[in-house]
A and B are shown apart, each in its own frame.
Chain A
């Protein structure tokens, strides 16, 4: 069942489903019966915060640094509790001034300084493009683990031609998705209802996948949490693994990470996109300010048990425990579900981040230059809109997809 054909058809079938959901969301928006007019969908779309790094990496981090991974989620919890003030204000400013990205927002705070906006766009572009690559790499690695188990994944990334790398094709499909649902029409508010519906669905998929593997590990591989932690306590190597001594930087490192996670949550381009730009009704913030933290708590509930179980059973690389633990028990369907969960976490991030970055590149970097040059007579609005969409589509193909997935040395 774990043949390449099955895995690939399930994976690309899943991507096809995303197209269907996004198309449905866009059609409902045109009919005025919005699919995303619910605070629950809004809260789920914010969960694009949880990337493949959360899905695979949290367990690895818990195995190495104890409970410090929780800070990445406690910071946003604090930020969301403040959202009825903080983010509501950002939403109001953004809709009053027709702000389309975090770069636009920051430049508007300083008197619409176009050079500041461009600077923020450049920083975001440099800082976040490698992060997109990491998501695509996570797809390649998890696919290799799934196919090659019980052998260690033979990652011949460097020798492999780029078209043999599965994540190249995933990236290509994503580029098509983003162009279709991210730049279909030009709208002053830059809202993409179909895309948001698909992202909310992806958040559900990754949560269900992670909870399934967590329940399997705790209640099937072990006899409940009591049994698991009794075995951890009895193992001399693992006794210190849960305390503050495992956290890098100790108590002050703890506070630093918490502040950083708080700030990252409100300034990451993809979070600004879903929190502020895609917000359809500011009353949704009320529900999201506790439902989103609850989502974070749920997706983290089984991280420590899985990390401890993986170390007790020495299941290979900690970053792949979520796959190797069910694989080692001889299961077939659960590892496939986990792979799809990881795929949904990675693709959600790539989609929203690319839309946010391409908006920034076109509005803050390229358009100001074009408007300044006198050889192009960009007078009429229609012409301008055409240029804007064209630039954005080129930016999408350049930012994320194919080239970024080419193997890093």
Chain B
């Protein structure tokens, strides 16, 4: 855990994830486009992005 400012970055990532996973932003994607809601697709993309960011943050300088 000797990556500089890892703590701040992780907290920022968790805040971003919470924002992405909860209503105000969610409602934007709940519009029926072409009949179906985009909500599930949006959730999976947001989820995958958050995981990728976490992996990048935590695995850099893995020489620990």
Contact = CB atoms under 8 A, between A and B. Distances in A.
Contacts of A84: 1, 6-7, 10, 58
Most buried by B among A67, A232, A254: A67
Contacts of A67: 39-40, 43
Interface in B19-64: 21-23, 26-27, 30, 32, 34-37, 39-40, 43-44, 47-48, 50-51, 54-55, 58-59, 64
Contacts of A85: 7, 10
B11 to A, nearest CB: 8
A81 B35 contact: no
Given A233-B36, A244-B27, A290 B21 contact: no
A301 interface: yes
Q: Which of B14, B30, B35, B50 has the most CB of A within 10 A?
A: B35
Interface residues of B, number: 32
A286 B7 CA distance: 12
B14 A82 contact: yes
Main secondary structure of the interface of A (DSSP, over half): helix
Contacts of B23: 251, 254-255
A355 B57 CA distance: 35
Given A232-B36, A242-B40, A297-B44, A290 B17 contact: no
Given A244-B27, A294-B51, A297-B51, A81 B13 contact: yes
Q: Give the bracket for the number of chain A residues in contact with chain B.
A: 20 to 34
Nearest to B34: A233
A290 B7 contact: no
Contacts of B17: 77-78, 81
A74 interface: yes
Contacts of A66: 37, 39-40
A33 B62 CA distance: 23
A239 interface: yes
B64 A290 contact: no
A185 interface: no
Contacts of B64: 283
A82 B17 CA distance: 11
Contacts of A255: 22-23
A287 interface: yes
A286 B64 CA distance: 11
A78 B18 contact: yes
A64 B45 CA distance: 23
B50 A77 contact: yes
A88 to B, nearest CB: 8
Contacts of B13: 81
Given A232-B36, A244-B26, A244-B39, A258 B10 contact: no
A153 interface: no
B55 A81 contact: no
B32 A243 contact: yes
B6 A258 contact: no
B21 A297 contact: no
A255 B21 CA distance: 9
A74 B27 CA distance: 17
9 contacts: A70-B43, A81-B10, A85-B10, A243-B32, A244-B27, A244-B39, A283-B64, A290-B59, A297-B47
Interface of A: 66-67, 70, 74, 77-78, 81-82, 84-85, 229, 232-234, 239-240, 242-244, 251, 254-255, 258, 283, 286-287, 289-291, 293-294, 297, 301, 304
The 9 lowest CB-CB distance pairs between A and B, nearest first, are A243-B37, A233-B35, A290-B54, A251-B23, A290-B55, A242-B37, A244-B30, A67-B40, A81-B14
Given A85-B7, A243-B30, 8 more contacts: A74-B43, A77-B47, A251-B26, A251-B27, A258-B21, A289-B54, A290-B55, A293-B47
